[in-house]
Structure 1
């Protein structure tokens, strides 16, 4: 996504960029922003964006200190001795931004009660017309567009490179637009019946939905859960990752100003134990959970056997065939493996190369990886930002040291960079299919180049040789190889000659150990609604 396209979402050209904010602290921030016409020249847009971001760097930390506690019934909750305090760190510096307060068990119950009241009331969210819910979601999208810099800064403060953050916010806006279109179009079906009888189905919301998002795409994951749930008439309680709560809290607080009624969108803060409390609460009718394979284990156990939506990551493979465009494939592989510092459930962490191009591709790949700029998330030139916290660094370095001990060739990277929570983009070659590096999700900037393959059938078989079937990709100019991959790869999402393209209208789901249920697309509406069958006979 280019910056000019994003700016065209914000305002009509040649009109002021008006930042819509809520509360006294945000109004003070609004007064500090220099209002200028939206320029048509992309270089001017880029420079002005950097200038505004630098201004935010000096003032946002003070203004965001209210975003440190749960948001329930359109109000930031009061803090008591029952609320555990934890520092929120800036991964780019490892320094504390502010203290956050975990929700207590009472806070969770209050959030559920508020959401139930907002759902069950005769004038509640579920009873409102579809057009009302549509307009509310469109207003949320507009609010995000007009506050794009504020959201981007929230993301950058918790480790998201600002260029990636801007693109993520653009995707969030499109997500709310997409689901707003469904809000007034939910319908059932009618069936042929005996004379004077009526048979039909009614689509209904479920009630209070618990949403749990991971740290890697805080606002996008929140949007992809909140938007379909609200469009369907449900009310929600979302728990963002404890390392990255700012953008979700900002969204809820802006929505609570004058867009959503109290109780429709609630946010509770905490770690995986708080997530388990939310998942176990009897007032939760549906749970949607996104986390890593080995992370959030408490919540994953809670969800075992449930009908919720879960997406738990994967050990994803890219196959590059001998007939692929190698230059294009190298660029795509680098982005697939190292964007967001590899903290992506769909990240390509295994690379399978045809034997005839193996050595040449590795040389091109390593040269390209060495050019990546690792740096502070607020720097517009940063291509690889920090990991989310010190535990993530420790986990990735444990993987790297084990790969070194297994005597795989370290082609580049492999070291920690300080200050902050940085690991160099790392490439290992000659990796065996049965090694821990090949089998276990890393969730960091580490790419394993596997031993070469001789045929597409062999590559697909090796790509499938594990239970984490979330995503896969193939680069080829052969329609036969492409069709073979699409039909045989065991993955919820298969990319052909591209990678990590996830538009809002396409469902996301995993197979086997990667999860169940569907996020995104129309399928998400199905996940957040139930169908009631009706057969009516006229009164005699």
Structure 2
């Protein structure tokens, strides 16, 4: 693949359907984390750029070309966006791999189809968000309408850049809103490529605006009084900061935040299936997932058997060139993330956990980190309590179902969990007892556009996916008429 020929120009903001230089003339250089080489110059959007984009989005919201577009026509436009993403799958997967360090094949068969699917799925919802006629006295007619919130600020993370952007933009547009998209500073490429697609498909100017930059750019979105809603996926610490700032203007917010998700392996589990699922749950995308199954709770009676099979399954899983079609474990996204993962490996050893595998990076170049396994991890250690966002798993024993639930729920997070058992009654009992927004049974990371996704506790609030994901971008109006 000709890497240089594939990269989009990221040196401008996309505002009001046009590529514009940043008002303050500031730029930065993003990096290919697998090769530690520069990818190009990226614009830094400042407060003036955010203000300009808000005005463009508001103008589109109130204009004929978007504000008065029929829901069915919005749906047809979203469908075309999804189809175009599919048609350019190889190109977009390459960009995603270059920016994030993830394996190209995973981006091609995972990230890109999922992003396209978000637009295609919400295309169908565009003309199906209906109100209701209410049963009131006969001298009145009373009905409800679901109306767009207005201008949406979407702040997305670096682990699934295009997929996360699509998950926010698609339902926002389906319900008639306009969007300001702020990609993560590490991964702007597919956001800019998406802007190119929207421009080519004649999406009305101002409907989607793309503003790359650092934390200050995101903060400007959150603080701007002309933005009606913030949707954010990222760390819990940043999510809390967004809540505090958004309170000043009483913005609607939805937050998909951190996780410390457990996989519970019971003694009646299909062991080989559980081993495969647990390994995929933590090592897919280098463990850089909010739902990463970074804690594994194994019943005492099968602990040794599970560990032998689990460690054997990881023998051939080693980091490699993300552009090699056989690579299953790529590079971490940045030097900062590499340092964070390294810190937690050191911390785990200091806390007395047993390092059973990995822990020592071996590549001369690139932020590659091997699959790392800690056993005999104490439940209240930082290794067991804090999100690492890397290929590091903490394994703990449990005696019975009650203890498994206690250990699983004894963290501040509540995003997801996996349950491995062949006992259907137990599967339901444990699923009901887990304090998480999603529970997978005998599978992991099975994510569908049709299903609501979001967290309990400090993993955030609001749901993406399904009807709930569309209604997240609407407000309800009641109309009462005396006749």
SS at match of 1:379: coil
Mapped to 1, the partners of 2:292 and 2:143 lie a distance apart of 43
The partner residue of 1:141 within 75, 82, 86 is 82
**Closer, same or farther in 2 for the Cα pair 1:378/1:294, shift >3 Å?**
farther
Mapped to 1, the partners of 2:129 and 2:440 lie a distance apart of 30
1:276 maps to 2:222: no
Mapped to 2, the partners of 1:299 and 1:324 lie a distance apart of 41
1:114 maps to 2:60: no
The partner residue of 1:249 within 192, 217, 222 is 192
Q: 1:58-69, aligned counterparts within 5 Å?
A: 59-61=5-7, 64=8, 66-69=9-12
Q: 1:144-159, aligned counterparts within 5 Å?
A: 144-158=85-99, 159=101
Mapped to 2, the partners of 1:103 and 1:164 lie a distance apart of 30
Q: Which structure 2 residue ranges, 5 or more long, are not aligned? A: none
1:443-493, Cα deviation, whole Å (9 max, x unpaired): 01100011x111112101110011200101100001122011111100000
Residue number in structure 2 paired with 1:461? 406
Mapped to 1, the partners of 2:241 and 2:138 lie a distance apart of 54
Residue number in structure 2 paired with 1:475? 420
Is the 2:155–2:182 contact (alpha carbons within 8 Å) kept by the matching residues of 1? yes
SS at match of 2:142: strand
Residue number in structure 2 paired with 1:387? 332
1:29-78, Cα deviation, whole Å (9 max, x unpaired): xxxxxxxxxxxxxxxxxxxxxxxxx3x336324xx2x1333211111112
Mapped to 2, the partners of 1:288 and 1:132 lie a distance apart of 25
Mapped to 2, the partners of 1:114 and 1:141 lie a distance apart of 24
State the Cα distance separating 1:85 from its structure 2 match.
1.8
Residue number in structure 2 paired with 1:169? 112
Residue number in structure 2 paired with 1:42? none
Mapped to 2, the partners of 1:133 and 1:388 lie a distance apart of 35
Mapped to 1, the partners of 2:22 and 2:231 lie a distance apart of 27
Mapped to 1, the partners of 2:46 and 2:482 lie a distance apart of 51
The partner residue of 1:91 within 7, 10, 33 is 33
Q: Which structure 1 residue ranges, 5 or more long, are not aligned? A: 1-53
SS at match of 2:470: helix
SS at match of 1:269: coil
Residue number in structure 1 paired with 2:390? 444
State the Cα distance separating 1:526 from its structure 2 match.
1.2
1:207-257, Cα deviation, whole Å (9 max, x unpaired): 100000000000110000000000000000010101011111111111112
Mapped to 1, the partners of 2:243 and 2:332 lie a distance apart of 22
State the Cα distance separating 1:373 from its structure 2 match.
3.2
Cα RMSD (Å) of the superposition?
A: 1.5
Residue number in structure 2 paired with 1:126? 67
Mapped to 2, the partners of 1:311 and 1:204 lie a distance apart of 23
SS at match of 2:476: strand
Mapped to 2, the partners of 1:376 and 1:473 lie a distance apart of 30
State the Cα distance separating 1:337 from its structure 2 match.
0.3
Mapped to 2, the partners of 1:337 and 1:228 lie a distance apart of 29
1:419 maps to 2:419: no
**Closer, same or farther in 2 for the Cα pair 1:107/1:314, shift >3 Å?**
same
State the Cα distance separating 1:390 from its structure 2 match.
0.3
Is the 1:212–1:238 contact (alpha carbons within 8 Å) kept by the matching residues of 2? yes
Is the 1:453–1:459 contact (alpha carbons within 8 Å) kept by the matching residues of 2? yes
1:330-386, Cα deviation, whole Å (9 max, x unpaired): 111111001000000000000000001101111111121221131122111111111
State the Cα distance separating 1:298 from its structure 2 match.
4.5
Residue number in structure 2 paired with 1:258? 201
Mapped to 2, the partners of 1:263 and 1:269 lie a distance apart of 16
The partner residue of 1:508 within 423, 428, 453 is 453
Matched length: 478
Greater displacement, 388-397 / 417-426: 417-426
TM-score, normalising length: structure 1: 0.86
**Closer, same or farther in 2 for the Cα pair 1:498/1:211, shift >3 Å?**
same
Residue number in structure 2 paired with 1:20? none
Mapped to 1, the partners of 2:201 and 2:431 lie a distance apart of 46
**Closer, same or farther in 2 for the Cα pair 1:443/1:299, shift >3 Å?**
same
Mapped to 1, the partners of 2:471 and 2:5 lie a distance apart of 43
1:314 maps to 2:259: yes
Is the 2:239–2:257 contact (alpha carbons within 8 Å) kept by the matching residues of 1? no
Residue number in structure 2 paired with 1:332? 277
Is the 1:206–1:234 contact (alpha carbons within 8 Å) kept by the matching residues of 2? yes
1:222 maps to 2:168: no
1:531 maps to 2:476: yes
Residue number in structure 1 paired with 2:430? 485
Mapped to 2, the partners of 1:116 and 1:207 lie a distance apart of 8
Mapped to 1, the partners of 2:14 and 2:312 lie a distance apart of 47
SS at match of 2:165: helix
Is the 2:185–2:213 contact (alpha carbons within 8 Å) kept by the matching residues of 1? yes
SS at match of 1:357: helix
SS at match of 1:370: coil
